[in-house]
């Protein structure tokens, strides 16, 4: 018996996906899986194109993560050209990256997830959206819109355009910073600091009502990976990769991201298009790790900016050594926003920020380039090979969401075991299964390198393999 119920017009995750919950004979949950059902291969389709076109082309993988792809791509191109980009260019890339992370975190936190915290996991799905919030919590909805716009405007002011900016180029940036752009951003900062302060305030209080979710939302030991600078501080643009275990101990030395293939393997499963990266020395699937805001706050020694470090000290008190619950991704996102605003202010106050030398010019001088940066959702790797003419012969991308694939699947299992019972999908159960996925803020357009479309299907399958309940959102 198959039934289809449409509950909600918006899935609140990016891309095309499906969750299957498999029941045993006695009706208890046996297994649960998160599938990604779309595929479009950018890696193949760029072969034969000149390398310098890559930032522009790769930026189109995703409308949300454009800047991250452009940055990782431009960094891979810098290596193919064998140049070191001017210091000011690196600072402008950093500011653009931070603006992009703020807009993405604002989208994830306010638009996609805050309705759950403010209206409740069981609330009417028709109202559980940013539009519903505009009615019940207008100030918070306004803050979400404002923060997102602030991030978008930074990208626009520093890199040229809001969507698919053209300022990020191989060798640096296309244009230097203007005085107007700097002034406009600095003028907004007091308002944005205040906005983040009050957001952290209500969110910390709201978390007190979510003990059960905190306990069951992807709360298990894994490794964590992210980028740190030489002093072990948070760095969202460049540095070494650090992996820690569930007790907070470093697993090996911090390593050069260019050697990612020595550390990270990619497993394939027949039931999904998304690959399963794992930490090679531990094998598959024991080498499960998480990336993104939660991972980054777990691996660092400090953020390196005063306000973020105050929040970070509080965050670290949540758990004995490492913060394991994926529910805290939300909290980590807000702390990263504070860090990003402080860092943007620092960078805009660098004495050489208006320097007009922002681009190194060169042809292809190396057959290979690896560009790695921290995207909103975690470590992003672009790896290219070119021929003597600089034409692409091979590309490999490991996108942030993909690193989290094993953990997202395990998190769905954990929530399904806790909340799903019998053969009927209820709204509260369904929303929690989705909500645990939203903690990771997956970008499915990115991870399948597929086009942006919104739809998600949840299937409940009985022991004989028939679908007994199904919900489509999209």
Binding positions for Mg ion, rule: CB under 5 A:
397
Q: Which is nearer to Mg ion, 36 or 397 (CB)?
A: 397
In whole angstroms, what is the distance from residue 434 CA to residue 449 CA?
21
Nearest distance from C-beta of residue 61 to Ni ion, angstroms: 7
Instruction: Go through 408-446 and write b for each residue having 16 or more CB atoms within 10 A of its CB, e for each that does not.
Output: bbbbbbbbbbbbbeeeebebebbbbbbbbbbbbbbbbbb
Nearest distance from C-beta of residue 397 to Mg ion, angstroms: 4
160: left (phi over 0), alpha (psi -120 to 50) or beta: left
Contact characters 395-434, Ni ion, x per CB under 5 A: ----------------------------------------
Residue from 83, 446, 450, 468 binding Ni ion (CB under 5 A) = 446
Residue from 101, 443, 450, 458 binding Ni ion (CB under 5 A) = 443
Nearest distance from C-beta of residue 235 to Mg ion, angstroms: 23
Q: Which is nearer to Mg ion, 39 or 354 (CB)?
A: 39
Question: Angle at the Cα of 420 (from 419 to 423), degrees rounded to 5?
Answer: 160
- Strands, E, within 236-377: which ranges? 240-244, 264-267, 276-279, 289-290, 368-375
Q: Which is nearer to Ni ion, 344 or 443 (CB)?
A: 443
In whole angstroms, what is the distance from residue 49 CA to residue 395 CA?
11
CB 406 within 8 A of CB 288: yes
In whole angstroms, what is the distance from residue 97 CA to residue 163 CA?
13
Nearest distance from C-beta of residue 398 to Mg ion, angstroms: 5
Q: Which is nearer to Ni ion, 19 or 443 (CB)?
A: 443
Instruction: Return the range that interacts with Ni ion (CB under 5 A); candidates 61-69, 85-93, 204-212, 238-246.
Output: 61-69
Q: Which is nearer to Mg ion, 112 or 397 (CB)?
A: 397
Q: Which is nearer to Ni ion, 22 or 452 (CB)?
A: 452
Nearest distance from C-beta of residue 280 to Mg ion, angstroms: 16
CB 65 within 8 A of CB 450: no
Report how far apart, in Å, the C-alpha atoms of 384 and of each of 43, 164, 231, 387, 394 are: 9, 21, 29, 10, 6
Structure tokens given for 273:
């298009």
Q: Which is nearer to Mg ion, 152 or 405 (CB)?
A: 405
Residue from 54, 58, 64, 450 binding Ni ion (CB under 5 A) = 64
Query: Should residue 62 be labelled a site residue for Ni ion when binding is judged by CB under 5 A?
Result: yes
Q: Which is nearer to Ni ion, 420 or 443 (CB)?
A: 443
Nearest distance from C-beta of residue 368 to Mg ion, angstroms: 16
DSSP letters of 98-156? HHHHHHHHHIIIIIIIHHHHHH-TTS-TTT-SHHHHHHH-HHHHHHHHHHHHHHHHHHH
Interface with Ni ion (CB under 5 A), residue total: 5
48: left (phi over 0), alpha (psi -120 to 50) or beta: left
Interacting partner of 64 out of Mg ion, Ni ion, none (Cβ under 5 to 8 A depending on kind): Ni ion
Query: What sections of 392-456 are H helices per DSSP?
Result: 400-403, 405-419, 427-440, 444-447
In whole angstroms, what is the distance from residue 41 CA to residue 47 CA?
11
Nearest distance from C-beta of residue 449 to Mg ion, angstroms: 8
Interacting partner of 397 out of Ni ion, Mg ion, none (Cβ under 5 to 8 A depending on kind): Mg ion
In whole angstroms, what is the distance from residue 105 CA to residue 308 CA?
15
Instruction: Return the range that interacts with Ni ion (CB under 5 A); candidates 62-70, 109-117, 257-265, 269-277.
Output: 62-70
Instruction: Return the range that interacts with Ni ion (CB under 5 A); candidates 64-72, 211-219, 308-316, 318-326.
Output: 64-72
Interacting partner of 65 out of Mg ion, Ni ion, none (Cβ under 5 to 8 A depending on kind): Ni ion
Residue from 13, 36, 46, 65 binding Ni ion (CB under 5 A) = 65
Residue in the block written with tokens 């449409």: 6
Q: Which is nearer to Ni ion, 76 or 380 (CB)?
A: 380
Q: Which residues bind Ni ion (CB under 5 A)?
A: 62, 64-65, 443, 446
């Amino acid at each position: 018996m198959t039934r289809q119920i449409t509950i909600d017009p918006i899935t609140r995750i990016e891309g095309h996906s499906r969750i299957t919950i498999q029941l045993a004979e006695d009706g208890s949950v046996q297994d649960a899986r998160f599938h990604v059902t779309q595929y479009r291969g950018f890696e193949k389709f760029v072969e034969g194109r000149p390398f310098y076109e890559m930032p522009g082309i790769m930026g189109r993988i995703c409308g949300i993560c454009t800047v991250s792809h452009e940055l990782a791509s431009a960094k891979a191109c810098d290596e193919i050209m064998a140049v070191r980009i001017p210091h000011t260019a690196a600072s402008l890339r950093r500011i653009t990256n931070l603006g992009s992370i703020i807009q993405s975190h604002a989208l994830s936190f306010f638009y996609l997830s805050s309705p759950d915290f403010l209206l409740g996991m069981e609330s009417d799905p028709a109202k559980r959206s940013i539009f519903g919030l505009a009615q019940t919590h207008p100030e918070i909805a306004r803050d979400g819109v404002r923060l997102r716009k602030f991030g978008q405007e930074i990208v626009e002011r520093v890199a040229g355009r809001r969507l698919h900016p053209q300022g990020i180029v191989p060798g640096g940036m296309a244009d230097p910073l203007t005085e107007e752009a700097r002034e406009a951003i600095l003028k907004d900062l007091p308002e944005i600091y205040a906005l983040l302060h009050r957001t952290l305030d209500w969110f910390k209080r709201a978390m007190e009502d979510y003990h059960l979710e905190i306990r069951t939302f992807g709360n298990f030991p894994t490794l964590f990976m992210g980028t740190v600078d030489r002093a072990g501080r948070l760095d969202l643009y460049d540095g070494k990769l650090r992996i820690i275990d569930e007790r907070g101990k470093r697993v090996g030395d911090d390593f050069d991201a260019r050697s990612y293939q020595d550390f990270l393997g990619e497993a394939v499963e027949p039931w999904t298009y998304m690959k399963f990266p794992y930490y090679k020395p531990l094998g598959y699937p024991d080498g499960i790790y998480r990336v993104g805001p939660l991972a980054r706050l777990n691996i660092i020694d400090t953020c390196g900016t005063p306000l973020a470090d105050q929040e970070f000290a509080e965050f670290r008190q949540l758990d004995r050594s490492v913060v394991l619950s994926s529910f805290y991704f939300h909290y980590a996102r807000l702390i990263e926003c504070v860090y990003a605003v402080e860092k943007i202010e620092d960078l805009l106050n660098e004495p050489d920020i208006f320097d007009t030398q922002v681009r190194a010019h060169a042809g292809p001088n190396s057959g290979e380039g690896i560009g790695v940066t921290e995207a909103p959702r975690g470590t992003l790797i672009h790896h290219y090979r070119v021929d003597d003419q600089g034409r692409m012969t091979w590309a490999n991308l490991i996108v942030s969401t993909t690193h989290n694939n094993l953990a997202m699947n395990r998190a769905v299992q954990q929530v399904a075991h806790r909340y799903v019972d019998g053969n009927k999908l209820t709204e509260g159960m369904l929303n929690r299964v989705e909500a645990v996925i939203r903690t990771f803020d997956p970008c499915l357009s990115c991870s399948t390198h597929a086009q942006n479309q919104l739809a998600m299907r949840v299937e409940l399958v009985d022991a004989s393999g028939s679908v007994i309940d199904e919900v489509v959102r999209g």
